[in-house]
Amino acid sequence: MPQPKQRRAPAGATKRKAAAAPVDYRALAQFRYELRRFLAFSEEGARKAGMTPRQHQALLGIKGFVDPGPPTVGDIARFLLIRHHSAVELMNRMAKLGLVSRLADPDDARRVQLKLTAKGEQKLQAVSKKNIEELRRVASPALRRLLKSSPSSGED
């Protein structure tokens, strides 16, 4: 089997690698721990609101979608990092629970657009408000600055 051509490193590249700052493993480990704690908090909040964590994430993905027009099932599949058929089944369950509604795309009838129902909006707002409060409570100084620069949950 032929070997791929080896690229020559630019002059001084090995020196730059050697001079790179060391990884702060303690800070990285602490961040990962805090991230997992927050995710566990958020997942429990979703369950208390009568949803699965994935349903909560889907509501957030639909509400936070930024491309023009409502998101499609494919958009939500990409947001959740799941296969399209899994997103279809998730949307089926969420529609039965009254959390989302489906609309035919006026430009392409093969595509289904998603919208939160009033019930979906209410559940998302309740969980999101608690998540923002928790983030503000446990935030590091850098994250606090970020949260302070973002609008509070009641301003949307």
Domain residue spans of the chain: 25-146
Whole-number pLDDT of residue 67: 82
How far is the C-alpha of 52 from the C-alpha of 56, rounded, in Å? 6
| Bigger pLDDT: 62 vs 67 | 62
Amino acid residing at 109: A
Question: Which residues on neighbouring strands pair with residue 101, listed in sequence order?
Answer: 115
Q: Whose structure tokens read 């994430």?
A: 57
Closest CA to 56 of 64, 37, 88: 64
Whole-number pLDDT of residue 56: 98
91 and 80 Cβ atoms separated by less than 8 Å:
no
Tell me what the mean pLDDT of segment 33-60 comes to. 96
Whole-number pLDDT of residue 137: 85
How far is the C-alpha of 3 from the C-alpha of 139, rounded, in Å? 49
Whole-number pLDDT of residue 155: 44
pLDDT by residue (tens digit) across 87-136?
999 999 999 999 999 999 888 888 899 999 999 999 999 999 999 999 88
Whole-number pLDDT of residue 127: 97
Closest CA to 65 of 19, 25, 111, 115: 115
CATH of region 25-146: 1.10.10.10
Residues 6+ away with beta carbon under 8 Å from 134: 38, 41, 42
Phi, psi of 68 (to 5 degrees): -60, 140
99 and 35 Cβ atoms separated by less than 8 Å:
no
Whole-number pLDDT of residue 74: 94
Share of the chain above pLDDT 90, in %: 56
Q: What is the mean pLDDT of the chain?
A: 84
Ranking 52-61, 74-83, 112-121, 139-148 by mean pLDDT, the lowest is 139-148
